[in-house]
Amino acid sequence: MSTFWVVLFLHCLSVLANQTVFNGTARTSSPPAYDDGLFTPLEDLNALSLTQLSVLGHPAFPNYSVRIKKTAFCDGTVSAYTGYIDIEARHIFFYFFESRSDPDTDDVIFWTNGGPGCSSSLGLFMELGPCRISDDNGPSFHPESWNTNANIFFVDQPIGVGFSYADYGESVSTTEEAAIDIAAFIFVFFEHFTKFKGRAFHMAGESYGGRYVPVFAAEVYDQNAKLLAEGFTPINLKSVMIGNGRTNLYQQLTSSFDMQCTAASVPPTLGVAECARMKQMIPRCEKRLKESCVDKFDAVDCLAAWSFCATHLEVPFWLSERNPYDISQPCDAKGMEDLCYPVTRHISNYLSRPSVRKTLGVDPSVPANFSSCSPTVGEAFNVYSDTLRVNEDYVGALLERGVRVLIYVGTYDWICNWVGNERWTLALEWSGKEAFNKEALRPWAVGGDLIGKGRAGLVRSAKGLTFLTVDAAGHMVPYDKPTEALDLMQRWISEEGF
């Protein structure tokens, strides 16, 4: 595989066998498109079955339906649900966990992992979900889960990721296309389960989620205008949360120098001669990337510029055999098969068990061996240049419309590092730029207790935009620093501040 495909991929990371319930009548065929006479909304999640999938639809989205069931696994203290978003012949798998605190009033969080092409089971079982898998014994209770006081979705998207599948080889190759499906599903869910209607809603993601989440949130926001015009309840979109995001590829690319050749994170990892050569390339790369990728996007020229600059600024890191997700740790070529974390293999083994797949309601057409990340999906996004797109303008537009944005970054991450993320937030063009840039980085601590708890990282915040670092955390902040991650999430959704 060429260096280009390796680096791009690493930038982040059928018919049901079970009977499906339609208004109480069991069928074995694939779910049809929505029909007013066929579907009756289920107002209460308690009406769902543990053994059978119920089908939900809505006349506003006649090509969409949702298959959902109760699922007893992972966290016995809350109600959990799994199922599929059905978009004609395309089917997106999701997990949903109610809050451990007060599911009837707590906020709702949507979570996606990145890749492009990586399953959100990584977020669920490795990072912020109600259970963790650390070995082949299966899941164990995770006390610092984000569903401590929030209801939360984990979604395998787009098609071809995790348990998601297509009937006839359909695929999604751009973030904008994926956003349409996600926005429609969110509306359908809220419409059927009315206790969540109007509830504060936050869209969160990690890594390539820095590309996904702003676009998904924009689609939800724009969809709201159409819903209001048709008399439906809009989604109460409050905020966006991006962890170690790949929002601006070009700032991330040039900041590779800072992470390898300065003490921005750990002591320099490259030799003096290599760093001197690398530094000379930065002005040239900034110019070429700006001209071909930012000022005017030209797929051919942008790809050429990116490939040239990645060769000079990123390849030295790959040759060093360090963990791209935690620069303080080593990771050899064999380790890269597990994304440098053996726990990913345990997650895949667990989700490959037939008994687990039956419990979750996984469609039998899904391949037997679960894969955390799909190279096929990643390469499809590359082919359509989705991985080269500038994305921060979505963030600026959301801020202008009152949607708060949190950018949090572990300081040990190299691949989507804090230096590049800080630079694009400072360069972001929006009405709050001056106020945001005037704010100096200041320490924050868990619970605000700097004396007792000590510094957890640095933060800058103004006018709805917050940039925050988490000391000694890697690419997956909730994995390395679960206490700090839960605290920052709780303070963010409560609007307590840092």
- The answer to whether the beta carbons of residues 459 and 465 sit under 8 Å apart is no
Instruction: Give yes or no for a contact between 151 and 98, defined as CB atoms under 8 angstroms apart.
Output: yes
Give a three-class secondary structure readout of 267-294.
CCCCCHHHHHHHHHHHHHHHHHHHHHHH
Note if 207 is an active site residue. Answer: yes
- The alpha carbon of residue 126 and the mean position of all alpha carbons in its chain are separated, in whole angstroms, by 13
Q: In this structure, how many other beta carbons lie within 10 angstroms of the beta carbon of residue 443?
A: 13
Q: How many CB atoms lie within 10 A of CB 197?
A: 14
Catalytic residue of the set 413, 461, 480, 487 = 413
SS3 at position 211: helix
DSSP 321: T
Q: What is the DSSP letter of 235?
A: P
Cis preceding linkage at 116, omega within 30: yes
DSSP 337-358: GGTT-THHHHHHHHHT-HHHHH
Give the alpha-carbon dihedral of 216, 217, 221, 224, to 10 degrees.
60
Strands (E), 380-440: 404-410
For CA atoms 399, 228, 96, 44, the dihedral sign is positive
Specify the DSSP element, H or E, that contains 227: helix 209-229
Bond before 354 cis per omega within 30 degrees: no
Query: How far, in Å, CA of 409 to CA of 363, rounded?
Result: 36
Query: How far, rounded to the nearest angstrom, does the alpha carbon of residue 428 sit from its chain's CA centroid?
Result: 21
d(CA 162, CA 155): 9
Interaxial angle between packed helices 272-289 and 299-313, expressed in degrees from 0 to 180 and rounded to the nearest 10 = 170
Evaluate whether 161 touches 115 at the Cβ level (below 8 Å).
yes
Structure-token pair, residue 283 = 């002005």
Residue 263, classed as helix, strand or coil, is coil
β-partners of residue 139 are: 133
Q: How far apart are the first and last CA of the chain?
A: 44
Q: Catalytic pick from 145, 164, 207, 265?
A: 207
Q: Provide the strand spans (E) within 123-170.
A: 131-133, 139-141, 151-156, 165-166
Name the strand (E) or helix (H) holding 442.
strand 442-444
Please give the angle made by the CA atoms of 277, 281 and 284, to the nearest 5 degrees.
160
Of residues 164, 374, 475, 487, which has the active-site annotation? 475
- Active-site residues, by number, are 207, 413, 475
